[in-house]
Amino acid sequence: MNAESYLAVETRDLSKVYANPSGPEVWAVKDIDLRIFQGEVVMICGPNGSGKTTLLSLLGCLLQPTSGSIQILGQKMATLSEQELSRFRLLNIGFVFQHFRLFECLTAAENVELALNLAGVRRPESQHRAELALAGLGVDHRAHFLPSTLSGGERQRVAIARALVNSPGLLLADEPTGNLDSRAGREAVDLLCGVARREGQTVVIVSHDERIRSAADRILLMEDGKVLETKTKFL
Amino acid sequence: MRFARKVPLARRMALRDRGRFLITAGGVGFAVMLMMFLLGVLEGVRKGATQYIADCQAVIWACEINSSNLLRSSSFLEPEDGRELAAFPGVREATGIVRVFTKAEIHGRQKTLLIFGIDPTSSLAVPSRIIQGTQKLGPGELILDRAFAVKNGLKPGDSLDIQHRKFRIAGVSEGTNAVIIQFLFGRLDDAQELLEIGEVVSFFLLTVKEGFDAAEVLRDLKLKVPALSFFSKEEFIQNNKDELKMGVLPIFWTIAILGSIIGAAVIALMLYGSVLERRLDYALLKSIGTPQRDLVLLVIRQSLLASSAGCVFGILAAGLLAPFLLWLVPELTLAIRPDAAILILAGSLFVGLAGSWAPIQKLSRIYPMEVFRG
């Protein structure tokens, strides 16, 4: 088996340009060549407007690149239709957001269960698996509470459980500690990375948070749409 | 009991903002209630306008050629026609009734009256559902329809001035209310005097002798008396229903379509607002890979939930408010049928589907990347 077969994400000359009616076009992401291996935890850092979230959106197949190619878990994204991309995201990519993005009208368990239902898992199996996922993140005692009654840390754990429940190969987290205090933020990232490492899942985290850098195997520093620097944990 | 096999997201989203949901369901409910009353009135008109014919013992109705119904066609028949019909093979009795439109001042207001002059010596044309007073009409006496009597505060024993003649109210009948007008009954000679055209009648009511088949007698009458029109009781009832349909149905459909548009607009507005308000939730659903079909179904389910809740509310409200409406407008006859409720439920579901169109269009313009917005 060669190194290619261990690649979770590969981009070549990846660019995203936004039209700007009042000025020159904006290169949010410019000619990025990126290789992320399976089981790796990569953090993308950089100032506001550096293109981190655009890159994450491209990796999450939420945006079409202007040019270049993306291959995720061995699948070339350019070959997939809109419908196939949705299905691919559902089964292979988990998302964690800064603002948690839980459905306020569903309980914690139902929020997790929803991801299973969308993937075709029906009750009672989906209920059982959702509760197991919450237990794995230590929030099973809050399973039947609405998000509005949970603390920020608990909400983020529920969101992580939702991202992990379909066992995706790739986890993408956008500022996962942005709305948490330092302790809850650290715990959330440790849980996310811990579970992902155990399961061999690849994690890409976009964050400003210096305190969680130690959780990453590799840190990419972005500026003006480009990756300026790569730091590896052991170097 | 079978539990849902999935998280009931549509129901939870629809019910999350209870105020909005109640306003929407209420809006649809009022439109449904309006429909229920309309259908009830329509059915009431149909029944009321034909109940008298159905109750009459006559099996064949004779009228002038080109005349076909009790309410909206003119018919003048001579006494000789009656004598000819009475002597026709198989006919047991032929009794004439005359229809008179006139006016009377009641409590200071001019009212239009429709009086049927009937032969007091025959039981064929007498209204059978007498709820007050007597069925027997003496000279200068009238039987009033119940709604007419209630609306005008009249009762047996009271009197009514018609064309400078005083009439005494002898009885009150039911099943004689065509909503747009109510039937009054007087003696044939009194009505002919009001009409001032001698012994002319409007219709002859016929019965057949024992041992004769009414259908065969009718067929023979049509063949051998071509100068007149003849109808079986059922045909005559249907003619009157058709006549009413032509007069009332266009109005009914106009109001029904307007009601449907209002219902669909209420649902569309509610859902459109909801999609805008929850665009981040929809963006999240898109980002995590929810199939487009499921997203569309999510909106449609919310729409159908609001429309069906509104429908149930409207049907129940119509049932509860019907007595009040009848008290308020005594001349109304409401006949709410179960199949009307089923028709309205189906209509509401259609309105629900129509109302979800605009929100679905909005949904398609929400991008999954919006989920990253603060």
Which residue shows structure tokens 């210096």? A210
Chain B interface test: which of A105, A171, A208 (most B C-beta within 10 Å): A105
Q: Are A45 and A52 in contact (CB under 8 A)?
A: yes
Residue A66's alpha-carbon distances to A63, B164, B368, in angstroms, are: 9, 94, 17
Given CA atoms B41, B45, B48, B50 in this order, what sign does their dihedral have? negative
pLDDT tens, position by position, A182-202: 888 888 888 888 888 888 899
B176-233 confidence digits (pLDDT tens): 887 778 889 999 999 999 888 888 999 999 999 999 999 999 999 999 999 999 999 9
DSSP result, B197-257: STT-BSEEEEEE-TTS-HHHHHHHHHHH-TTEEEEEHHHHHHHHHHHHHHHHHHHHHHHHH
> Which of B189-193, B239-243, B362-366: highest mean pLDDT?
B189-193
Closest CA to A5 of A169, A197, A203: A169
Q: Which of B106, B29, B103 shows the shortest CA–CA distance to B263?
A: B29
For chain B, give the percent of residues with pLDDT over 90.
31
Tokens 């219902």 found at: B263
How far apart, in whole angstroms, are the C-alpha atoms of residue A32 and residue A225?
A: 8
Chain A hits for B15, CB-CB cut-off 8 Å, are 105
pLDDT above 80 for B259: no
- Among B183, B351, B255, B306, residue whose Cα is nearest residue B37: B255
**Residue B146 vs residue B274, higher pLDDT:** B146
Q: Mean pLDDT, to the nearest integer, of B60-66?
A: 91
Nearest CA among B27, B32, B124 for reference residue B341: B32
Burial class (CB in 10 A: 0-12, 13-18, 19+), A232: exposed
Say whether A86 and B281 touch across the interface (CB within 8 A).
no
Return the bridge partners of B114, or none: B101, B183
Pick among A48, A57, A61, A101 to test the B interface (most B CBs inside 10 A): A101
Task: Write out pLDDT tens, residues A131-148.
Answer: 999 998 888 999 999 999
Chain A residues whose beta carbon lies within 8 Å of the beta carbon of residue B291: 83, 86-87, 90, 118
Query: What integer pLDDT is reported at residue B262 of this predicted model?
Result: 80
Name the strand (E) or helix (H) holding A232: strand A226-232
Percent of all residues in chain B with a pLDDT value above 70, rounded to a whole number: 98
Average pLDDT over residues A123-136: 92
- Taking contacts as CB-CB distances below 8 angstroms, the residues of chain B near A106 are 7, 9, 12
User: pLDDT tens-digit profile of A53-68?
Assistant: 899 999 998 888 999 9
Stretch A172-187: mean pLDDT: 84
Query: First CA to last CA across chain A, in angstroms?
Result: 26
How far apart (Å, rounded) are the C-alpha atoms in residues B249 and B251? 5
Instruction: Classify burial at B342, counting beta carbons within 10 Å of its beta carbon; exposed 0-12, middle 13-18, buried 19 or more.
Output: exposed
Question: Does B18 touch chain A if contact means CB atoms closer than 8 Å?
Answer: no
CA A99 to chain centre: 13
Q: What is the pLDDT of residues B106-117, one digit of tens each?
A: 888 888 889 999
| Backbone angles phi and psi of B61, in degrees to 5 | -110, 130
Interchain contact B9–A (C-beta under 8 A): yes
State both tokens at B299: 């909106």
Residue B24 — pLDDT band, cuts 50, 70, 90?
Answer: confident
Contact between A106 and A57 (Cβ < 8 Å): no
**pLDDT of res. A233:** 67
DSSP classification of residue B357? H
Pair type for strands B183-187 and B165-173: unpaired
pLDDT of B134 over the 70 cut:
yes
Which of A63, A86, A162 to substitute to test the interface with B, most B CBs within 10 Å? Answer: A86
Distance (Å, whole) CA A54 – CA A56: 5
Q: How far apart are CA B306 and CA B356, in angstroms?
A: 11
Q: Residue ranges of the domains in chain B?
A: 3-49+249-372, 90-202
Residue A170: closest CA among A136, A200, A135: A200
Dihedral angle at the C-alpha atoms of B259, B264, B265, B270, nearest 10 degrees? 130
B249: Cα within 13 Å, side-chain hemisphere: 7
d(CA A1, nearest CA chain B) in Å: 31
Question: How far out from the chain centre does Cα B153 lie?
Answer: 24
Mean pLDDT, range A141-169, rounded to an integer: 92
DSSP 3-state percent helix, strand, coil across chain A (nearest 5):
40, 25, 35
Task: Answer with the residue of higher pLDDT: B341 or B4.
Answer: B341
In this predicted structure, what is the pLDDT of residue A234? 54
Is residue B344 over pLDDT 90? no
- Specify the pLDDT at position B352: 81
Q: Are A55 and A209 in contact (CB under 8 A)?
A: no
Distance (Å, whole) CA B91 – CA B212: 8
What pLDDT digit, counting tens, does each position of B302-343 carry? 888 888 898 899 889 988 998 888 888 877 777 777 887 888
Q: Give the C-alpha separation, A208 to A101, whole Å.
A: 19
Give the phi and the psi of residue B293 in degrees, each rounded to 5: -60, -40
pLDDT value at position B303? 86
Contact of B296 with chain A, judged by CB distance below 8 Å, is answered with: no
SS3 A199: helix
Would you say residue B1 has pLDDT above 50? Answer: no
The two structure tokens encoding residue B63? 């009228």
- Provide CB contacts within 8 A for A44, sequence distance 6+: A52, A55, A56, A204, A205, A206, A207, A219, A220, A222
Judged by CB atoms closer than 8 Å, whether chains meet at B288 and A95 is answered as yes
User: Is this prediction's ipTM beyond 0.85?
Assistant: yes
Cβ-based neighbour number of residue B84 at 10 Å: 18
pLDDT, average across residues B364-368: 86
A179 to chain B: closest CA residue = B374
How large is the average pLDDT for residues B279-303?
89
Whether residue B2 is predicted with pLDDT greater than 50 in this model: the reply is no
The residue-averaged pLDDT of A77-101 equals: 90
Tokens in use for B370? 């919006």
Task: Please tell me which of the candidates A57, A89, A105 has its beta carbon nearest to residue B369.
Answer: A57
DSSP result, A68-101:
EEEEETTEEGGG--HHHHHHHHHHHEEEE-TT--
Look at B12 and A103 and tell me if their CB atoms are within 8 Å.
yes
Q: Which of B54, B64, B73 is nearest to B236 (CA)?
A: B54
What is the C-alpha end-to-end distance of chain B, expressed in Å? Answer: 42
From chain A, pick out residues whose CB is under 8 angstroms from the CB of B16. Answer: 104-105
Specify the pLDDT at position A184: 81
The answer to whether B67 and B73 are in contact (CB under 8 A) is yes
Tokens 């012994």 map to which residue?
A: B199
Q: Nearest CA to CA, how far is B296 from chain A (Å)?
A: 14
B38-47 mean pLDDT: 79
Residue B125, Cα to own-chain centre: how many angstroms? 24
Other CB atoms within a 10 A radius of the CB of residue A75 amount to 16
Rounded Cα distance between B260 and B31, Å, is 7
Band (pLDDT 50/70/90 cuts) for residue B374 is low
DSSP state of B174: S
Digit-coded pLDDT (tens) for B260-277: 788 778 777 777 787 778
For chains A and B, what is the number of CB pairs under 8 angstroms? Answer: 80
Residue A53: closest CA among chain B residues belongs to which residue?
B372
What pLDDT does residue A4 have?
Answer: 54
pLDDT at A5 over 70: no
* Strand-pair partners of B94: B206
Determine contact, residues A169/A201, Cβ cutoff 8 Å: yes
> Average model confidence (pLDDT) for chain B?
86
Contact between chains at A57 and B372 (C-beta distance less than 8 A) = yes
